[in-house]
Amino acid sequence: MTTALYRRYRPQAFGEMIGQSQVTEPLMTALRSDRVGHAYLFSGPRGCGKTTSARILARCLNCAQGPTDTPCGECDSCVELGRGGGGSLDVVEIDAASHNGVDDARDLRERAIFAPARDRFKIFILDEAHMVTQQGFNALLKLVEEPPAHVKFIFATTEPEKVLGTIRSRTHHYPFRLVPPAAMLEYVQELCETEGVAVEAGVLPLVVRAGGGSPRDTLSLLDQLIAGSDRDADDHVLVNYERAVALLGYTHSELLDEVVDAFAALDGAGAFAAVDRVVQTGQDPRRFVDDLLERLRDLIVVAATGAGASAVLRGVPDDELERMARQATAFGVARLSRTADLVVAALDEMTGATSPRLQLELLVARVLTHAGVSQGVAPAAAPAHAAEHAAASAARTPAPAQAAPAAAPAVASPGVASPGIASPGIASPRGRFGGCGLPSRCRAGDREPRHRCARRRVAGP
């Protein structure tokens, strides 16, 4: 049996934390200046170090050489709160998800009255604090507001807005964040070297991407890959790229290269063949479209930065960067941007779609059609087509009637048609057009008395 990586490499001091300098540096400064508060609220996404930081803070406060910003790691308190320790009597960790009622709050108040058994402070760590009910928080309010001198509270939660406002206002709030990919990639590389694990190119970026910035999730995935990998000729564990892609559910880079090359060459047969491979191998079409968008983003970065792409796309092998540079040149920045827009729109449409494969095939058709239209029509031919279209429209549209010449007012005699006024029973000289210049079927006069048709009635055609 082996211990999980995230437990074996759990930080034991603030200096070992990665990507959380906005939390560790102020806490270390407060410990050095002896300005430690009585209650803290640690919030942030899961697996980013909230509970670990709470334990480190407890070690710093109860260390025999403390309070200090760096625990000694040798005293009884530091050993008990370390990686292999069984816990301290004076540091109580409570799962607020299952101890969230009024009775639990009353029990905590009764325990807080008693002095620490051995250490300097009695520290209560409430994990998942947002699960405490409003009544439970109200029962704790007086204790959190004015605790005994030997009591410290540390609340850890992923949803700080659900913590009662009166409790939150009495704590020092430290927000944790997801670890940036660059720092996480460097960390897992060092960890693999420490563990003596060989990793093929492209595996660690996939692990970091799948971890989503959470150190615990990232180490759990890496631990799973290591556990399922074989040993090489040197008796070292070798994490294979194909196995990592299959396990993590991402699209193989060769398949992405095939699709991108088909798009660049306007090869419809190759593009649809790649789509069929995605479906036949049981991959999720949504995941494939997401990976394709990620590849297009990388190509845009390569096209924009040129030789400096390695500084942005960390962890990508040099041969793959060269291949992406050729693909970006074949596409062009403008076409890459338009293709990425189509992929983004398709990804939105695939959310909740009953037939993701159909959406994927339509995406391929749109990309190929859009690229073909943009490349098939020369820029100089566009005005000519517009002129021809305008001429055809003008030929289909009947010419407007010529305006009648101005005439002096005249009275129409019976049986004689005046040039300007239509007599009863005699057609207007405008033929099928009425006095308003519109065809004789115009019936606006029936609806609007002020219309010219109301004053100049014209017989039918």
Residues 222 and 311 in one domain: no
pLDDT band at 452 (very low <50, low <70, confident <90, very high): low
Report if residue 420 sits inside a domain: no
Domain's final residue, options 160, 175, 190:
175
Report if residue 415 sits inside a domain: no
Q: Give me the pLDDT at residue 259, please.
A: 93
Residues 137 and 9 in one domain: yes
- For residue 238, report the phi and psi dihedrals to the nearest 5 degrees: -120, 115
Report if residue 388 sits inside a domain: no
Q: Tell me the β-bridge partners of 42.
A: 156, 174
* pLDDT beyond 90 at 281: no
Residues 31 and 167 in one domain: yes
Residues 278 and 148 in one domain: no
Overall average pLDDT of the 49-56 stretch: 94
The CA distance from 21 to 49, in Å, is 12
- Quick one: 231 exposed, middle or buried, by C-beta within 10 A (0-12, 13-18, 19+)? exposed
CA angle 310, 293, 216 (to 5 degrees): 70
Q: Give me the pLDDT at residue 177, please.
A: 94
Report the residue count for the chain.
461
Residues 212 and 169 in one domain: no
Q: Cα–chain-centroid distance for residue 297?
A: 14
CA angle 67, 12, 27 (to 5 degrees): 45
Domain carrying residue 90: 5-175
pLDDT band at 451 (very low <50, low <70, confident <90, very high): low
CA angle 287, 289, 295 (to 5 degrees): 105
Residues 201 and 304 in one domain: no
Report residue 32 as tokens.
């050095």
pLDDT band at 2 (very low <50, low <70, confident <90, very high): confident
> What is the per-residue pLDDT across 338-362, written as a single tens digit (0 to 9) for each?
999 999 999 998 887 788 889 999 9
Yes or no: say if 362 and 346 are a contact pair by the CB < 8 Å rule. yes
The CA distance from 409 to 270, in Å, is 79
Overall average pLDDT of the 208-226 stretch: 93
Using alpha carbons, select from 170, 191, 243 the residue that is nearest to residue 16: 191
Report if residue 394 sits inside a domain: no
Overall average pLDDT of the 49-67 stretch: 92
- Higher-confidence position of 379 and 23: 23
One-character DSSP codes across 243-304: HHHHHHTPPPHHHHHHHHHHHHTT-HHHHHHHHHHHHHTT--HHHHHHHHHHHHHHHHHHHH
> What is the per-residue pLDDT across 296-318, written as a single tens digit (0 to 9) for each?
999 999 999 888 888 888 878 88
Residues 196 and 168 in one domain: no
The CA distance from 57 to 71, in Å, is 9
pLDDT band at 207 (very low <50, low <70, confident <90, very high): very high
Domain's final residue, options 329, 350, 374:
374
Yes or no: say if 225 and 247 are a contact pair by the CB < 8 Å rule. yes
Chain position carrying tokens 């001091």:
13
Domain's final residue, options 175, 190, 221:
175
Report if residue 396 sits inside a domain: no
Residues 229 and 293 in one domain: no
Report if residue 67 sits inside a domain: yes
Q: Give me the pLDDT at residue 376, please.
A: 54
Continuous H helices in 63-101 = 76-80
Residues 242 and 262 in one domain: no
Report if residue 54 sits inside a domain: yes
* pLDDT beyond 80 at 414: no
Report if residue 408 sits inside a domain: no
Overall average pLDDT of the 245-268 stretch: 91
* pLDDT beyond 90 at 461: no
Q: At what angle do helices 285-305 and 253-264 cross, to 10 degrees?
A: 70
* pLDDT beyond 80 at 389: no
Q: Any residues with CB less than 8 A from the CB of 98 and at least 6 apart, and which?
A: none
Q: Give me the pLDDT at residue 306, please.
A: 84
| Averaged pLDDT score across all residues of the chain | 82
Residues 277 and 239 in one domain: no
pLDDT band at 372 (very low <50, low <70, confident <90, very high): low
Domain count, the chain: 4
Rg (CA), the chain: 38
* pLDDT beyond 70 at 459: no
Report residue 143 as tokens.
């204790």
Q: Say what the pTM is.
A: 0.73
Q: Give me the pLDDT at residue 316, please.
A: 83
Yes or no: say if 215 and 187 are a contact pair by the CB < 8 Å rule. yes
* pLDDT beyond 70 at 400: no
Residues 185 and 169 in one domain: no
**Beta-carbon neighbour count of residue 64 at 10 Å?**
14
Overall average pLDDT of the 399-427 stretch: 44
The CA distance from 147 to 151, in Å, is 6
Q: Give me the pLDDT at residue 83, please.
A: 87
Exposure string over 412-436, b if 16+ CB within 10 A, otherwise e: eeeeebeebbbeeeeebebeebbbb
Using alpha carbons, select from 278, 214, 270 the residue that is nearest to residue 251: 278
> What is the per-residue pLDDT across 71-85, written as a single tens digit (0 to 9) for each?
998 999 999 998 888
**Which 3-state string (H, E, C) describes 196-235?**
CEEECCCHHHHHHHHHCCCHHHHHHHHHHHHHCCCECCCC
Q: What is the CATH number of the domain that holds 215?
A: 1.10.8.60
Residues 358 and 241 in one domain: no
Q: Give me the pLDDT at residue 406, please.
A: 45
* pLDDT beyond 80 at 395: no
CA angle 298, 249, 179 (to 5 degrees): 60
> What is the per-residue pLDDT across 108-146, written as a single tens digit (0 to 9) for each?
999 998 999 999 999 999 999 999 999 999 999 999 999
